[in-house]
Each structure stands twice: as C-alpha cells, then as structure tokens.
Amino acid sequence: MTKVTAQLSVSLDGCYAGPRHTGDGDWMDSAESAGFFRVTRWVTNAMAWRERQGFAGGEQDANSDIVAESFGTAGAYVMGRRMADGGEIPWGDEPPFRAPVFVVTHRPRETLVRGGGTSFTYVTDGVVSAVAQARAAAGGRDVAVAGGGSLVRQVLRAGLLDELELHIVPVVLGGGLRLFDAGSGGGLGGGADGGPDAGLGLGQKEAIELTPTRVVATPEATHIRYAVRGRAPLVLDDRGSGGGPTRTAG
Amino acid sequence: MTKVTAQLSVSLDGCYAGPRHTGDGDWMDSAESAGFFRVTRWVTNAMAWRERQGFAGGEQDANSDIVAESFGTAGAYVMGRRMADGGEIPWGDEPPFRAPVFVVTHRPRETLVRGGGTSFTYVTDGVVSAVAQARAAAGGRDVAVAGGGSLVRQVLRAGLLDELELHIVPVVLGGGLRLFDAGSGGGLGGGADGGPDAGLGLGQKEAIELTPTRVVATPEATHIRYAVRGRAPLVLDDRGSGGGPTRTAG
C-alpha cells in the first residue's frame, strides 16, 4: 500500500541547511549551502547516491543501504519549487529520481521529461493535489516528499504524511533553515517553496505525536524512522503526582 | 577523569519546553510546562527517577537505566537560576541530586544545604567559575550541566562541554524553548537563566562537530550520546564533485 513518506538530513539543532541565501552571490558559496552540504555529506559519500549521479567511488556501508532503500521504495516524488529549480541544472539529463516528480509551484509550466524515467510535472493547485497525483503515479510504491522543509510542513499540516525519517547528523550549525520552524532561516519561510507557510498550525497545547519504528546508528548519522500518529492534545497526566513532577533531569 | 556533561530531553523539533511562560498565571498551567512535561514524560515514568522523588511506581526499563546512570555518574551539578528557582519548592527537603549544585545567577545568596547530600551554591561570577567549582566538588565523578538551554549553550560556547546526551522524544511541539536557539521561545532567550545569551557565537561558515558514541532506542525516546569535538569550519570537500553535488535526497 502506498505510504506518503518524507526524509530529511538535519543537524543536531534541526537545520537542513544554513541561513537562507538571499540577494547576490552564488548559492554554492553561501552559508546556506555550506550547512546543506555538511548535513548531506553522508548522502554524497554514499555509493548508492553516487551511482545514481554517475559519480565514481563512495562508501558501501549502512548509510549507502539507507539511500538505496529510499530510492527503491519511492514510486513518485513531491517536491517544492525552490528545490526543483535549484536541481534542474546539476541533476542534468538523467536526474537521480527515475520516477515522476510533482513540483508544487505557482507558475504553470509544461511537464519536463528527462532520461531514465524522471519527469517533472508542475502542479499549481496545491500540495493536496500534488500528493494525489503522485499517489496515482506511484504504481503502489511510496510517495516521497523530497523537500524542502516548507513542503514537508505543508504535507504534515494537511495530515497527509504517514512516515518521517530523520537523518540526524552530529553537527550543530547554530542557525539555518529548520524543518519544523516556519520562521527560521532569516524570517522568510513563507512561500519560497511554492506554497503558503503558516507553520504546522498547532494549537497552544497541541502536538504531533509519532512512534519510532526503526533506528540505524552510524558514525555519520543516526537514522530514525517514525510513523506519524497525528495531532494530540498535550495533557498533564497524573504519573508525576505525589508532590508534583519537578523540573529535574531530562 | 571528570567530564563535563549535559543532557536534555527534546522534541523532534528541538524544544525542551513549550513557548516561554511570561506574565500572569500558573507555570503549571502554561504551554511552556505542557511541552516540558511531554518531553520529560519518559523521565517521570522511570522508576529510577520516581525513587529519587519518593514516588511509588514507574517503569523499570531501559529508560530507567539511563536515568539511574545519569544520577550515578554526576558528582556535582551546574544549573541555571531559572531552573533552580522553579525547582526549589517541588524538590522539597531532599532534592533528587544528592550532590553539590552550583547555580549560575546574578543574585548573591547564602549556600542552601538540603538533606540527602544536596546543596545549592549560588555563583555570581559566571559559568566558567561555576564549572570550575563543580569540578573541584565532583570528587572525580562528572560535572552535569542540568540546564536549562541557555546555560548549556553558554557552557558549549565556552568550549567546556565534553559530552552531550540528547533524549529525542517522538513528538513535534511546533514551537517552544530550543536548546540551540538563543532567539527561541518568544524572543526572550537572553539572561533568563542567569547569564548573557548571545547564542553559540559561531561564524557564518562554522559549526560545532560531535561524534555519536552511544545510541539507545526505546519507544519513548531515542537516547543519543555525543562526544563534543568542538568548532570547525564548514568546508566544501571535493567528494561530491564530478558535476557538483546536488540538492537531491537527504
């Protein structure tokens, strides 16, 4: 059965890239890209990723197995406009997806067909529609929400995400684009990935509960997979009573 | 040999409590406490923690073992003023620490001696001094930086932290007090824990590198211990070259 999945490499402080690059200058020289390449280093070093890119070398290890698995289970992708734009040239004639990609954007554009099974379809009527189109195209495999963070938040907020995998990289960036924080990365956050971004829309004492279903520990990243259970109120249960739970430890 | 350690329970979005409670009203009824009690539920449910509090019941499991271990290895504590103030009444006559606690504060106060081996010494000349005093008092065991986040950031920034353990709880709070983000929790961030808080003081393309040394996975939390290696520049290595690393996956 098709699941809607998302995965993101994040620093210990929850950033998937450095502070948002704005204005002049090359993105490749920006603090945003410096952070992005640090948290995705385990990916670019993985043999399974390098093979898809046509690069030589790389490590054949547990990290590479996780990359291979994620390529193998995805029957279609949903992607933000900013990521799709940024990748269009470097991904070249045979992008690594080898599956239909649905790009959430405000700008209509004809479907772009690339080699190796990858196509980019530009969806202008929102994230729910993009996920539905990707489901239909996935052939029973999973729909992978490929990012960026704004798009993952929209899918999560819409209650459409079944599974989240975080690749937690042992580095503290000190600031940058945060997966779960619409206001991060220099105060922009909104719209840059092709959709409105009002955060997760949770109430004051409300949270999204998940269940960890797999942990793979490597020196380069701790890979934690979660099933998304959904919104739940934050209630103060009585387990800590008998003087009241205190602020110690943890 | 004495290590300086810190550990904190955090949500998937890096919060150790909900948004900072300000103004009127009971902290226990606040969104800050609702988030705090959610991320520390694995602690308050642990038998090892409940025993120290004089509470009945609790789970005797891997989570409890981690609580017991952390109590066992700490020979002295360093604590922020806000946490010490908040705990003073609920911790009662026999606080759970059973070791000297050094509280970083601007307000001089006589040492408070409690039962069971706990004392609170108020240190007004800064975090470096508090860590030094705790080292001297630790009797060869570890110095545990007990929080909150502002204090952990100060110790990390000063290059004094040897080991960090994060207890990553499978919940997304959507906002709150973030360990690594001085500006989180409603824009205050500074000074509330007893010291200046200008964040981690990292440069634009600089990060703090760590090495994971242990991962313990439970349904309630993923416990990841890190050795802190220290500051390092973010350099774009050449592993991703051959067309340039791209923005895919990860």
Which domains, ranges and CATH numbers included, belong to chain A?
4-233 (3.40.430.10)
Facing residues of B33 across strands?
Answer: none
**Would you give the distance in Å from CA B48 to the centre of its chain?**
18
Q: List the pLDDT tens digit at each of the 250 positions of chain A.
A: 899 999 999 999 999 999 989 888 888 889 999 999 999 999 999 999 999 988 999 999 999 999 999 999 999 999 999 889 988 888 899 999 999 999 999 999 999 999 999 999 999 999 999 999 999 999 999 999 998 888 999 999 999 999 999 999 999 999 899 888 766 543 333 333 334 455 888 988 999 999 999 999 999 999 999 999 999 999 876 554 544 444 444 4
Note whether B226 contacts A199, CB cutoff 8 Å: no
Measured between beta carbons, the chain B residues lying within 8 angstroms of A97 are 248
Note whether A246 contacts B83, CB cutoff 8 Å: no
Higher pLDDT: A220 or B86? It is A220
Residues 6+ apart with CB under 8 A from B200: A172, A174, B153, B156, B157, B180, B182, B208
pLDDT at B167 over 80: yes
Q: In angstroms, rounded to a whole number, what is the distance separating the alpha carbons of residues A66 and B245? A: 18
Chain A interface, mutation test: which of B42, B172, B228, most A Cβ atoms within 10 Å? B172
Note whether B9 contacts A250, CB cutoff 8 Å: yes
For residue A169, give both structure tokens.
Answer: 């990289």
Please give the residue of chain B at the shortest CA–CA distance from A235.
B34
For the residues B152-168, what does the mean pLDDT come to? 96
Query: Which of B44, B49, B236 lies nearest to residue A34, judging by beta carbons?
Result: B236
Measured between beta carbons, the chain A residues lying within 8 angstroms of B37 are 234, 236, 240, 245
Q: Which residue has the tokens 């003023």?
A: B81
Facing residues of B74 across strands?
Answer: B142
Q: What is the DSSP letter of B115?
A: G
**Rounded to a whole number, what is the distance in angstroms from the first to the last CA of chain A?**
38
Chain A interface, mutation test: which of B9, B11, B12, B222, most A Cβ atoms within 10 Å? B12
Q: In angstroms, rounded to a whole number, what is the distance separating the alpha carbons of residues B6 and B146? A: 6
Note whether A208 contacts B181, CB cutoff 8 Å: no
Burial of A238 (0-12, 13-18, 19+ CB in 10 A): exposed
Measured between beta carbons, the chain A residues lying within 8 angstroms of B45 are 239
- The neighbour count for residue A128, using CB atoms within 10 Å, is 15
For the residues B54-82, what does the mean pLDDT come to? 95
Please give the residue of chain A at the shortest CA–CA distance from B172.
A208
pLDDT at A149: 87
pLDDT at A184: 57
Q: What angle do CA A218, A221, A224 make, to 5 degrees?
A: 95
pLDDT at A204: 85
- The neighbour count for residue A243, using CB atoms within 10 Å, is 13
Note whether A34 contacts B219, CB cutoff 8 Å: no
Q: In angstroms, rounded to a whole number, what is the distance separating the alpha carbons of residues A158 and A80? A: 15
pLDDT at A155: 95
Measured between beta carbons, the chain A residues lying within 8 angstroms of B7 are 249-250
For residue A3, give both structure tokens.
Answer: 């699941």
Q: Which residue has the tokens 């195209």?
A: A137
pLDDT band at B198 (very low <50, low <70, confident <90, very high): low
Per-residue pLDDT tens over the stretch B9-31: 999 999 999 998 988 888 888 99
DSSP conformation letters of B4-22: EEEEEEEETTSEEESSPP-
Mean pLDDT of chain B: 88
Burial letters A82-116, b for 16+ CB under 10 A, else e: bbbebbbebbbeebbbebbbbbbbeeeeeeeebee
Higher pLDDT: A162 or B195? It is A162
pLDDT at B24: 82
Note whether A249 contacts B28, CB cutoff 8 Å: no
Of the candidates B3, B6, B241, the one whose C-alpha atom is nearest the C-alpha of residue B147 is: B6
Please give the residue of chain A at the shortest CA–CA distance from B229.
A171
Note whether A35 contacts B172, CB cutoff 8 Å: no
pLDDT at B249 over 50: no
Radius of gyration over every alpha carbon of chain B, rounded to an integer in angstroms: 19
pLDDT band at B196 (very low <50, low <70, confident <90, very high): very low
- The neighbour count for residue B183, using CB atoms within 10 Å, is 15
**Would you give the distance in Å from CA B110 to the centre of its chain?**
25
Query: Could you tell me where the beta strands, DSSP code E, fall in A81-193?
Result: 100-104, 112-113, 119-123, 142-145, 163-169, 171-172, 177-178
Per-residue pLDDT tens over the stretch B202-211: 988 999 999 9
Note whether A35 contacts B250, CB cutoff 8 Å: no
Q: Are A15 and A35 in contact (CB under 8 A)?
A: yes
Please give the residue of chain A at the shortest CA–CA distance from B165.
A250
For residue A211, give both structure tokens.
Answer: 């269940």
Q: In angstroms, rounded to a whole number, what is the distance separating the alpha carbons of residues B62 and A222? A: 19
Note whether B207 contacts A35, CB cutoff 8 Å: yes
Note whether B95 contacts A248, CB cutoff 8 Å: yes
